[in-house]
Structure 1
Amino acid sequence: MDDLVVVGAGPYGLSIAAHAAAAGLGVRVLGRPMASWRDHMPEGMYLKSEPWSSNLSAPDGRHTLAEYCATRGLAAEHGRPLPIGAFSAYGMWFARHAVPEVEEVTVTEVTPQGDGFRILTAEGPPLLTRTVALAVGVMPFVHHPRALRDLPPGHASHSSGHRDLARFAGREVAVIGAGQAALETAALLAENGARPCLVARRSRLNWNTAPQPLHRPALRALRDPHSGLGTGWRSWAWSELPWAVRRLPAPTRERIAATALGPAGAWWLRDRFERKVPVLLGHRLHRAVAVGERTRLGLTTTAGESVVLDVAHVIAATGFTPDLARLELLDAGLRAALETVGDSGSPELSSGFESSWPGLFFAGLLTAPSFGPSMRFVHGAGFTAGRLVKGVRQRLGDRGRRRGSTGTARFDRAASGVRPGVPPGHPKTSLR
């Protein structure tokens, strides 16, 4: 039985595995390395975060993005956007140098078994592990606007569903959304010969300003500090104090996760976008109908006026909604037993990223209502990996002591009278 199985091999999963291996744990990593970045982002996209804040995390501080770029003759400079392809290649390099071999299998089910977990894959026999860390990324949580969900196949898609936007050349495409994914997708569509139009509920688009120099006079740096999530004290707090966010009341954490660092475009994209993409701001999508091979959108303005937009295709750049109910690989009874953060549908977590089910840990987007918005960015992987592995070691120590006292490595639920779906010692009130 393994000490830890990490499900997912993106920035969070790889970072956790690197820390776990360095701590001497028996760890296995399951998944396709950097899958979301390699398979679900259009060619031509750039990393929005600064290179120095986009490192995967190894416990010795090595294997940084700058180190990788230096070996390839690439520039990883402050204020200079890096292609997504280069970042994906960096993640693959990190996996080869800092992580135990990644097993490229598809996990289909995670189920409690005895004092640990059974993990089923599409490719091989079951695995048994004492603890499991779910670092599944964002793809299970793709959000499609309700108005688009009943359209026939081929009429609408999500922005994460495209690797090559050249297929839309010569066609009218409505892009729904106002964040970086929507703005950059629309710009890339135009640059690939399509005729995009951006549709957004917001009355104005927000654009980030060009980053200030890293080295500035002390007073300027104090007034507007740099952080992994941008400049300013608020961004600094989200970036550097996720442990403090977790100590806030649940409703406050829910609000922060939902509203902090809202939709905005990168400063380097603005000119490319504004020169080529028409916009319909203050327009809410309320209806979508297939008319032959085209799609007719019913929009409503803030003044209550109706607008009809006829296009060849609709791309929803509407982000991701973290919700345990959509994590189908996790046993349904286990999911139902988990304590959540208010109404968010995300698990309540200990300071070590452990859920209310002993031995089950989470990382990435699902942890934002516990630790704040840094968990939506690569920058949060460093904080997560160190704390989560510490939590795993503590859990394994607790189980070792329990095994030592009972003389058995397994807990017999039937004999104990514990009802199905609730783990033994269910720590609903003992989150650290």
Structure 2
Amino acid sequence: MIQPVAVIGAGPFGLSTAAHLRAHGIPVRVFGEPMVSWRDHMPAGMFLKSTPVASSLDAPQRGHTLADYCDAAGIPRLVTDEDIIPVETFVAYGEWFQQKLVPELERVRVVSVDRRTTADGNGGGTGDGAGDRTGDGTGGAGGFELKLDSGELITARAVVVATGLSGLAHLPPELAAAAPDGPAPTGPFSHSSQHHDLGRYSGKDLIVVGAGQSALETAALAAEAGARVRVVARGRGSVAFGAPPWKQPRLRPESPFGRAWSLWALSYYPHPYRHLPAQVRHHLVRRVLGPLGAWWLRERFENSVRVSEVDRVLRADTTDGHPGLTVLSHTGRTERLSADHVIAATGYRVDVAAMDFLGPELRTRLAVSRGTPKLGAGYVSSIPGLYFTGLPAAGSYGPVMRFVCGTEFASPRLVRHLAAAHA
């Protein structure tokens, strides 16, 4: 009996990959709750920053775009750069995509993944995780063993990790030190990924740390829910908003993210990205399409939120039950800003060490670069048969992997590589 391929995660990258595997006739088992990060870890009332053209999951056949879903659901089509997408609509689209193309999704959690021990007692595969070497995807005779939270043990010839943002929320050290038990909505400090209902802060003083879309939209939504909100952002002019579509330059190539040669290249030709020096790759992942509010958010934000642009946050603490930040101003003066709660909208950071569902041997033997897996052609890691897609692949394939439109590049290439390696 041919062992299936296991896909861990049922967000955009997991669903897209699974749809392509099924279209290739490759047995696959897919684990996870569909669109769970978008449904449970994004604030109600949120809109996507990405345009409709950048928000479709890649499918192996026509008829499964966001516009197709709108037609099927009988709602107005979202197709132009001026159309903004409610998160609830995007979640419903992802669930529709899953029902159409990945109907066998198993809503269970993968507790652990280990290499399966072969009859001679050796694990399959040869990747040793050393240096810059990457696996060839051919897999080992033993494959992998997965334990599910249902108690079931299964074997798989290959594993695709598509867990999205799960477990990757990042707190800067100065904030993390003030939350030794971790961020929590009921504590003094939390992370923006922990909030679905911002109404809990109505009538309260709230500080949001950050300058990206997540920070600015969280702040605007909280203010509209009745909170008194201050955004604390590092750097002069750090709080900024993009130009509306009708003001975009017309003499540059179009990309899902805007009109610029660099964005066009990173969107459609990320093939050579993994060959760049590590320092360059990680810098581009952080800086390209960096902190910037959506054009449609500006008026809502400026009408309701105070902004403190500081040189840096020195430390965070809690005094008399109230959390606060000690900041250094651009004039060199220190100041303590206090509130009833602090939300860190400080993004996500890939760290293989935090992916505790991967067995200790896998995590030890994986070749990594600044915590991210080093991937070869077809998204295979240094351990043959173990693939990563979505955000964990950004360190190897560039900023496009941070966005839904990255499924168009990643899914077919990953599946072609896997199919050839396991033919």
TM-score with structure 1 length normalisation?
0.87
Q: CA deviation at 1:213?
A: 8.9
Match of 1:141 among 150, 168, 173: 168
Q: 2:265 aligns to what SS in structure 1? A: helix
**AA partner of residue 6 (structure 1):** V
In structure 2, the partner of 1:120 is: 147
- Kindly provide the CA deviation profile for residues 126-152 of structure 1, in whole angstroms up to 9, marking residues without a partner as x: 110000000010121100122232337
**AA partner of residue 144 (structure 1):** L
Q: CA deviation at 1:3?
A: 2.7
Q: Does 1:324 align with 2:318?
A: no
Matches within 5 A, 1:205-220: 205-212=239-246
In structure 2, the partner of 1:420 is: none
After superposition, the CA RMSD in angstroms is: 1.6
Q: CA deviation at 1:244?
A: 2.6
**AA partner of residue 3 (structure 1):** P
Q: 1:106 to 1:24 in 2, by over 3 A?
A: same
Matches within 5 A, 1:380-391: 380-391=406-417
Match of 2:300 among 272, 291, 303: 272
In structure 2, the partner of 1:82 is: 85
Provide the identity percentage: 43
Q: Does 1:161 align with 2:194?
A: yes
CA distance in 2, matches of 1:49, 1:21: 28
Aligned length: 389
In structure 1, the partner of 2:136 is: none
TM-score with structure 2 length normalisation?
0.89
User: Structure 2, unaligned stretches of length 5 or more?
Assistant: 119-141
Greater relative contact order structure (CA < 8 Å, 6+ sep): 2
In structure 2, the partner of 1:48 is: 49
User: Does the 8 Å contact 2:162/2:390 carry over to 1?
Assistant: yes
Q: CA deviation at 1:234?
A: 1.2
CA distance in 2, matches of 1:189, 1:213: 29
Matches within 5 A, 1:163-178: 163-178=196-211
Q: Does 1:198 align with 2:234?
A: no
CA distance in 2, matches of 1:104, 1:288: 39
Q: Does 1:354 align with 2:363?
A: no
CA distance in 1, matches of 2:352, 2:105: 25
CA distance in 2, matches of 1:377, 1:297: 31
CA distance in 2, matches of 1:202, 1:320: 20
CA distance in 2, matches of 1:170, 1:210: 33
Q: 1:193 to 1:283 in 2, by over 3 A?
A: farther
In structure 2, the partner of 1:333 is: 361
CA distance in 2, matches of 1:234, 1:303: 35
Q: 1:82 aligns to what SS in structure 2? A: coil
**AA partner of residue 78 (structure 2):** A
CA distance in 1, matches of 2:314, 2:105: 44
CA distance in 1, matches of 2:216, 2:16: 30
CA distance in 2, matches of 1:312, 1:278: 16
Q: CA deviation at 1:66?
A: 0.2
CA distance in 2, matches of 1:251, 1:201: 22
CA distance in 2, matches of 1:313, 1:241: 43
User: Does the 8 Å contact 2:209/2:232 carry over to 1?
Assistant: yes
Q: CA deviation at 1:236?
A: 0.8
Q: 1:61 aligns to what SS in structure 2? A: coil
CA distance in 2, matches of 1:247, 1:10: 28
In structure 1, the partner of 2:418 is: 392
CA distance in 2, matches of 1:2, 1:197: 53
User: Does the 8 Å contact 1:155/1:313 carry over to 2?
Assistant: yes
Q: CA deviation at 1:283?
A: 4.2
